[in-house]
Chain A
Amino acid sequence: MAVQPDMEKKGFLQTVGDAAGDVFTRITAGISPGEFRRMLRGEAPGRPNPRLKPHSDTFLLHIKPTYYHESVTRFTHTFRLGLLSTYIFLFEVITGIYLMIWYAPSPDRAYADMLYLLSNVPFGQFMRDMHRLGAELMVALVTLHMVRTYLTGSYKPPRQFTWFTGVILLVVTLFLSFSGYLLPWDQLAFWAVTIGTSMAEAVPPAVVGETVNLLARGAPDIGANGLLRFYLLHVLFLPLVLFLFFFVHYYKVVHYGISLPANEEEVGQDTANKIPADRRVYFLPDVLIDETVFLLAFTAFTVVASTFFFTAPLESIANPQVTPLHTVAPWYFYWLQGMLKIADKTIAGVVLPGVLLVLLMAIPYLDPNPSRRAKDRRVAIISGIVAGVIMIILSWMGTPQYAAQAAPAVEVVQELMPEEGAGLVREIGYSEVPLGVYDSREHPSELFEPVNCPIPVQIWSRIPVISVMLPRCEENMHDVLHEFETSIQAWQKSDPDFNNAYGILTVTQEQAQLKRLNWQVFWQDSTGLDSSFERHFFLHENSLYWEEYGFKDFSFLTESEEAEQ
């Protein structure tokens, strides 16, 4: 491009404009500024379609189809769950690398690194919350993606192998989430993973189980070696496996096309790749805009949620000597924990999940029904729903609510002030727990009435939208005691060995800024014998406790303002 002759011929402005347009076309791999404007206006492309060039010229776009069938681009056909699953993996990679900067996989350092990340790294807590929320969403989204595929029958020929790789991706996702669970090296992590890996021990025959367990833990119990192994699984091996199977999966998706809504083609036909010219929706610009806007909206949702409503839990440091009350697996393994409660470890922990997994992978090869229409698939859909309901019931059985209750008095105290985590008392905090001796009988549950308490978050209360979402206002000492009595009454009704019960809470000043809460529960068993339970906890003025889900406590903002004044 000779500049001087051009300038003489076309003038300065024209030359600069042409050069800018040229640069734009190079960057977009073939879309001229004029074409770009036409895209934004929603105008049809010219012929031949200049918008196909980026697909052949660029690496990232060549894996995307150039056009889709109009019916599959509707949001309610796929809910874009596959795209979302892929995106959230990328999201986890980015937030995960941020966390890796401050993390060393060693029992001596891991937990201290967590505290450092939370208290000294800008955006450290934000990134950790996002990573954890993303992990839980990833499990949920991948599962929903599978449910959608099942309900629309999209696993049927020729997409059997796509489904098969999808099940592998689901398993890898579960393992990814589970292996990340151990890394903070807190009690929650340690015991959830101890329970999880102990299932590997149940693999028959005994010698195989022991070997698998030893390979996973690196020692008979989880320690330095186990943490390192889980770390390497989490950041290296499993992401690589996921990466590989993702490309196999996506290649198959593009190769066969996204299955059309069942009623748009004849039974037994697959016309996803024969898209009539008038039904084509081009990736550039329509699908690209849809997907980008959708992912941006999802990102905004995740950012808002982890800023205001989600806190990644961190309990006290892992202690192999102390098993906390109500140790639970992550929620997506509740169903497994539920099965373990009703059946033998080998059957419920290894054989049944293994059979279920093989069955899940084999569904497309076993299903003889060629139709994808709902009215032809009543058996498949109903059995799918029944399986879902069974999973929900098993999950409920996996929670501590079912068949894992401690003595009533222990549960009453655990509910208000759990051994690990927040609980009502720690949430209202030091300043809302005045010194004194409190008797639960003076706070009968029938008289329970929410009391107006001062809103702790004055900054937010000036913004009307946020003040609507502020924590419920009955969280103060008065309501703790009502809750205490209500809980005792509820246990009295359900347990014949827990009669005439009452509780005494004694709050004393242990040190400057440190209160001691002494919980006592007195009751009579069915023979009239007096019994009591006592447990003390300490509460420091500065300690903040946040529940995993719920509006975060931003009171530190007003407190630091008060300190400055």
Chain B
Amino acid sequence: MQKRWYDFLYVKSPIVKIGLGTLAILLTLGVIALQLLMEEPRMEAQTASWEGRSIEIGADLFANNCASCHGIEGKGLQGVAPALDSRYFFSQRLNDVGFTGTQDQYIALTLHAGRPSKVDTQWANVMATWGSEFGGPLRADQIDHLVSFVMNWEETALAQTPEEDPWQFFQDALSKQLPYDPSEPGYQTKLDQAVAAAEAAGVSNYSIGGVEVQAPTADEAADAGPRDPEELFTTMACIGCHNLDQDQTPDNRGITAPNLGNLAEVAGDMVPGQDAATYVYNSIVAPNDYIVEGYLPGVMTQNFAEQMSEEEIQAMVEWLLSR
């Protein structure tokens, strides 16, 4: 057999070979022992990592599906959807609605099955059923990611002062108690806001933090004088669907309802025979009489004539057209 230049690489002695094999075993066992030492922190890091990734995916889902109603930062949108990055939401909400499970289960339940009620609610939109098992668009694992994301607000939300808490206490039947300590800074501001909101919503026998609120009777309401149209636009939840800052054009249409930015220019041309003021007035008191093409009848509240006085509706029409 011919000699080759690399022949010196061949190990001949069986003892040296066995020694090399032993070294390989020791190296393998050494590395496995090293892993054994690292397993505990590694598993912890992996657990945290997948929770973190779950939050990342949840954040993406939230931005695409939820932020339009619940706000980009989960601060809620007045009259549209409640705040989620809220101390009240994480500390008191479950008690108030009488839910016996945990916070994450409550969020998961709401996401899966939605909130199928339009009765006695201050919110313009219903919470849809997001879970695919109820005909919604999201799979169970996606809802789990969203729950992780919303739960990630817990720490910052619980650190909020009452004043910072974006939760709006108005008509919500059971939240009659402010869950805050009166000695906390910001308690008074929150109390004032809650009382003002309850009064604006016209609820009766409402007790917030020991302050009794009586529903203004029809006479009292008249005595109190007409409410400000700009304020009514918010408290009547118009703002939830109608955007005042955007023009309604073929390229830029409001999603649920027409934008009102250019209402003054277009209102007079909508229905033949109706001038701008008549059209807007009719649209408030009898929304279904004329539906702009592309929108659904019955979406807008039908009883504004009962909720607002004649004078207030006239003021609203005037304010809308003068903007």
Contact = CB atoms under 8 A, between A and B. Distances in A.
Interface of A: 39-42, 70-71, 74-76, 111-112, 115, 118-123, 125-126, 264, 285-286, 289-290, 292-293, 296-297, 299-300, 303-304, 307, 316-317, 510-514, 516, 536-544, 554, 556-557, 559-560
Nearest to A298: B24
A300 B27 contact: yes
A539 B15 contact: no
A300 B41 contact: no
B10 A75 contact: yes
Contact of B18 (A121, A293, A511, A512): A293
A560 B45 CA distance: 8
Contact of B52 (A40, A285, A304, A513): A513
B274 interface: no
A514 B56 contact: yes
Given A120-B43, A541-B52, 6 more contacts: A119-B50, A296-B25, A511-B153, A513-B52, A536-B60, A539-B56
A300 B27 CA distance: 6
B1 A556 contact: no
B55 A511 contact: yes
Contacts of B60: 536-538
B59 A516 contact: yes
23 contacts: A40-B15, A42-B15, A70-B1, A75-B10, A76-B4, A119-B49, A289-B21, A297-B20, A300-B31, A303-B31, A304-B27, A304-B31, A307-B35, A511-B55, A512-B152, A513-B52, A536-B60, A537-B60, A538-B59, A542-B48, A542-B49, A542-B51, A543-B49
Nearest to B6: A76
A118 B73 CA distance: 32
A304 B36 CA distance: 14
B38 A540 contact: no
Interface residues of B, number: 49
A219 to B, nearest CB: 18
B47 interface: yes
A303 B46 contact: no
Contact of B21 (A292, A303, A539, A542): A292
A543 B41 contact: no
Contact of B59 (A122, A300, A511): A511
A40 B60 CA distance: 65
8 closest pairs, A vs B, by CB?
Answer: A540-B52, A556-B45, A543-B52, A542-B52, A542-B48, A119-B46, A293-B21, A296-B24
B34 interface: yes
A163 B119 CA distance: 78
Contacts, number: 135
User: DSSP majority for the A interface?
Assistant: helix
Interface string B47-79: 111111101110110010000000001000000
Given A76-B6, A556-B45, A289 B18 contact: yes
B65 to A, nearest CB: 14
Contact of A510 (B13, B51, B59): B59
Between B35, B49, B57, the greatest number of chain A beta carbons within 10 A of the residue's beta carbon is seen for: B49
A299 B17 contact: no
B170 to A, nearest CB: 27
Contacts of A75: 10
B149 interface: yes
B39 A123 contact: yes
Contact of A514 (B12, B38, B44, B55): B55
B322 to A, nearest CB: 37
A520 B36 CA distance: 44
Given A70-B1, A125-B46, A317-B141, A514 B27 contact: no
Nearest to A126: B35
A299 B41 CA distance: 25
Given A71-B1, A303-B28, A536 B63 contact: yes
Contacts of B55: 511, 513-514, 538, 540
A511 B46 contact: no
Between B44, B55, B57, the greatest number of chain A beta carbons within 10 A of the residue's beta carbon is seen for: B55
A289 B14 contact: yes
B95 interface: no
Given A540-B56, A560-B41, A119 B47 contact: yes
Contacts of A539: 56
Contacts of B52: 513, 540-543
Contacts of A300: 24-25, 27-28, 31
A153 to B, nearest CB: 19
A539 B12 CA distance: 56
Nearest to B20: A293
A514 B18 CA distance: 54
B53 A543 contact: yes
A559 B45 CA distance: 9
A241 B141 CA distance: 37
A513 B51 CA distance: 12
Given A299-B24, A513-B152, A556-B45, A40 B56 contact: no
Contacts of A292: 21
A125 B42 contact: yes
Between A316, A537, A543, the greatest number of chain B beta carbons within 10 A of the residue's beta carbon is seen for: A543
B38 A557 contact: yes
A540 B47 CA distance: 13
B32 interface: yes
Nearest to B26: A300
Nearest to A121: B43
Between A74, A112, A290, A538, the greatest number of chain B beta carbons within 10 A of the residue's beta carbon is seen for: A538
A114 B110 CA distance: 28
